[in-house]
């Protein structure tokens, strides 16, 4: 373990020319607690402004300035570019660094270098400003519509996996120069595409980070951003192209789902702790004779609700994405793809077209592509999701290299996620256990599922939670994650490693986490019967090259 934690992981091409040689000043030992190592804080050996004089191969350092306002100030903010176009931002504490490095991911198709401590703002070293951190825009800037990828194969490689890896190397080089000390521990924290980036690191570059928190990972990206989001739209269109279901009906549907399934966990509290146990039938809301249509669903609307829940299929019923695209209980979040009025363009349409136009066929951008061009057939499925899945998806379940090096992984997902189905994360977790063995996985990976939480936060359930501190404690002291408390302004609730859930103990407020205990119910088998299940396998990933302006696998 010590060799992993304390060695300097710099590639030979990163030649650092230091401009200062003084020994690091050591402050009083930091008070960490909570299972975190009691690491002494160190101060810089050089001025922030002098960072711009450092020479790192392939890196242009544009600025280095001390930021004194806002959390987690004060810090030296370093901005630069890793060739050819990966913008990076690095924050280096100036009053005392407790030898930890945290790299954060970005969402969507990225294009923005903004450090975002996803579900970790209350993590003590982040809150007190003693960690060094960094992020990247992953090789492109500007539009989040995929157009940056057109005729730009290097940007596609950087977005897929290269940008995050090089950022880790460069940030650690800057840290070593600034403090004359490498990080004792390195962590990655990301959600959505940041969760995909997190898993890509564990799969491709297992030595970059000691601990990883991967939230709502878009690791099944090619399927997610084609058939999943496209189905959200086309399943809700009639023959004339009008929407069938509008958002005004969503509260009606949600209330009916809660009536049917809220108390399955023994508590009527507006949350369904495992939506897979809910078997709601939208036809129970079908309009009866002379019923006010605002209080019920037409036959077509009920069919749409079922199709949106179940996910994309071909005309023979073969699933083109994992079963359950949107869990029961998440209906209020469906405004991502259910419009309030005719003529609106919903978010899912934009997500699907961004990928289908510019990323699905990497060397042949097609800005004119429309959702009507996508065939929901098995042949079309493989034609569409390959080859981009081989380098952009992060579905390899064999994390032996990460595990053998002492790495720890915390997967987490909100049950009410409207963007990315938690089924993807469940199937990935199952694939890890099938590939590596359940006991091995239990020693280095945990999965947390948050009732009522939407995409990366929000939703009706407790959704403010620190997922990074448990990872740090696991890495630094061997303290395995157990009960994690999530909250809102009015409610706290414990969440336990899957498959254990929280059960009310029958005393006190149902809004207080102290009144809940762990309970492991009878297992629910995750349905892996879908066309692309074999994507969750080892050995499919490729490392494309750029040859004559084209992406070559």
pLDDT band at 124 (very low <50, low <70, confident <90, very high): confident
pLDDT value for 270: 96
pLDDT band at 350 (very low <50, low <70, confident <90, very high): very high
Element (H, E) at 546: strand 545-547
pLDDT value for 212: 98
pLDDT tens digit sequence for 539-550: 999 999 999 999
pLDDT value for 154: 97
pLDDT value for 61: 98
- Token output for 543: 């490392």
Beta-carbon count within 10 A of 460 CB: 22
pLDDT value for 33: 53
State the distance between the two ends of the chain, measured CA to CA, in whole angstroms: 35
pLDDT tens digit sequence for 72-118: 889 999 999 999 999 999 999 999 999 999 999 999 999 988 888 88
Cβ neighbours of residue 495 closer than 8 Å, sequence gap 6 or more? 448, 449, 450, 451, 465, 483, 484, 485, 486, 502
pLDDT mean across residues, the chain: 93
Question: In sequence order, what are the beta bridge partners of 129?
Answer: none
- Cα–Cα nearest to 420, from 505, 504, 321: 321
Cβ neighbours of residue 215 closer than 8 Å, sequence gap 6 or more? 118, 119, 190, 191, 192, 194, 195, 198, 411, 412, 413, 456, 467
pLDDT value for 22: 37
pLDDT tens digit sequence for 207-251: 999 999 999 999 999 999 999 999 999 999 999 999 999 999 999
- The conformation of residue 228, written as its DSSP 8-state character, comes to I
pLDDT band at 122 (very low <50, low <70, confident <90, very high): confident
Query: Counting Cβ atoms within 10 Å, is residue 485 exposed (0-12), middle (13-18) or buried (19+)?
Result: middle
pLDDT value for 17: 35
Across residues 144-153, what is the average pLDDT?
93
Cβ atoms of 544 and 159 closer than 8 Å: no
pLDDT value for 120: 85
pLDDT tens digit sequence for 432-479: 999 999 999 999 999 999 999 999 999 999 999 999 999 999 999 999
Can you tell me the distance from the alpha carbon of 281 to that of 261, in angstroms, rounded to the nearest whole number? 11
Task: Note the Cα 412 to chain centre separation in Å.
Answer: 8
pLDDT band at 5 (very low <50, low <70, confident <90, very high): very low
- Give the residue extent of every domain in the chain: 16-183, 223-390
Across residues 381-385, what is the average pLDDT?
98
pLDDT tens digit sequence for 475-532: 999 999 999 999 999 999 999 999 999 999 999 999 999 999 999 999 999 999 999 9
Can you tell me the distance from the alpha carbon of 351 to that of 336, in angstroms, rounded to the nearest whole number? 11
Count each helix (H run) and each strand (E run) in the chain, helices first. 16, 17
pLDDT value for 3: 42
Across residues 264-292, what is the average pLDDT?
96
């Amino acid at each position: 373990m010590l060799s992993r934690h304390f060695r300097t992981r710099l590639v030979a091409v990163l030649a650092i020319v230091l401009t200062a040689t003084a020994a690091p000043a050591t402050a009083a030992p930091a008070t960490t607690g909570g299972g975190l190592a009691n690491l002494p804080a160190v101060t810089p050996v050089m001025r922030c402004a002098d960072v711009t004089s450092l020479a790192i191969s392939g890196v242009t350092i544009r600025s280095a300035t001390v930021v004194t306002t806002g959390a987690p100030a004060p810090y030296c903010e370093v901005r630069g570019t890793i060739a050819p176009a990966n913008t990076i931002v690095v924050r280096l504490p100036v009053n005392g660094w407790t030898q930890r490095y945290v790299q954060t991911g970005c969402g969507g198709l990225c294009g923005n270098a903004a450090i975002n401590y996803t579900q970790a703002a209350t993590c003590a070293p982040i809150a007190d400003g003693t960690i060094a951190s960094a992020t990247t825009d992953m090789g492109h800037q500007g539009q989040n519509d995929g157009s940056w990828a057109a005729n730009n194969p290097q940007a596609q490689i950087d977005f897929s996996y290269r940008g995050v890896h090089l950022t880790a190397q460069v940030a650690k080089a800057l840290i070593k120069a600034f403090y004359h000390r490498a990080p004792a521990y390195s962590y990655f924290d990301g959600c959505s595409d940041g969760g995909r980036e997190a898993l890509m690191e564990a799969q491709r570059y297992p030595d970059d980070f000691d601990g990883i928190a991967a939230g709502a990972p878009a690791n099944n990206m090619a399927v997610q951003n084609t058939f999943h989001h496209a189905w959200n739209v086309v399943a809700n269109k009639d023959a004339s192209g009008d929407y069938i279901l509008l958002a005004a009906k969503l509260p009606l549907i949600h209330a009916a789902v809660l009536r049917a399934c809220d108390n399955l966990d023994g508590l009527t509290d507006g949350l369904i702790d495992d939506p897979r146990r809910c078997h709601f039938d939208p036809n129970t809301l079908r309009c009866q004779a002379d019923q006010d249509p605002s209080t019920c669903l037409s036959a077509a609307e009920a069919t749409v609700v079922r199709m949106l829940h179940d996910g994309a299929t071909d005309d023979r019923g073969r699933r083109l994405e994992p079963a359950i695209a949107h869990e029961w209980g998440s209906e209020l979040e469906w405004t991502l793809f259910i419009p309030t009025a005719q003529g609106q363009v919903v978010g899912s349409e934009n997500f699907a077209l961004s990928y289908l136009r510019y990323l699905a066929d990497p060397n042949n951008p097609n800005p004119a592509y429309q959702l009507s061009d996508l065939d929901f057939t098995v042949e079309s499925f493989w034609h569409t999701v390959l080859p981009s899945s081989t380098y952009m998806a992060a579905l390899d379940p064999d994390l032996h290299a990460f595990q053998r090096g002492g790495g720890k992984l915390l997967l987490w997902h909100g049950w009410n996620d409207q963007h990315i189905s938690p089924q993807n994360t469940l199937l990935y977790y199952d694939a890890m256990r099938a590939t590596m063995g359940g006991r091995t996985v239990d020693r280095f990976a945990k999965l947390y599922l948050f009732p009522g939480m939407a995409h990366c936060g929000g939703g009706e359930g407790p959704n403010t939670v620190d997922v990074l501190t448990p990872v740090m404690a696991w890495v630094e002291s061997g303290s395995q994650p157990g009960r994690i408390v999530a909250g809102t302004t009015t409610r706290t609730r414990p969440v336990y490693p899957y498959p254990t859930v929280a059960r009310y103990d029958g005393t006190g407020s149902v809004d207080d986490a102290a009144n809940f205990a762990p309970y492991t119910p009878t297992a629910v088998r995750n349905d892996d019967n879908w066309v692309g299940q074999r994507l969750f396998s080892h050995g499919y990933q490729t490392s494309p090259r750029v040859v004559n302006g084209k992406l070559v696998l």
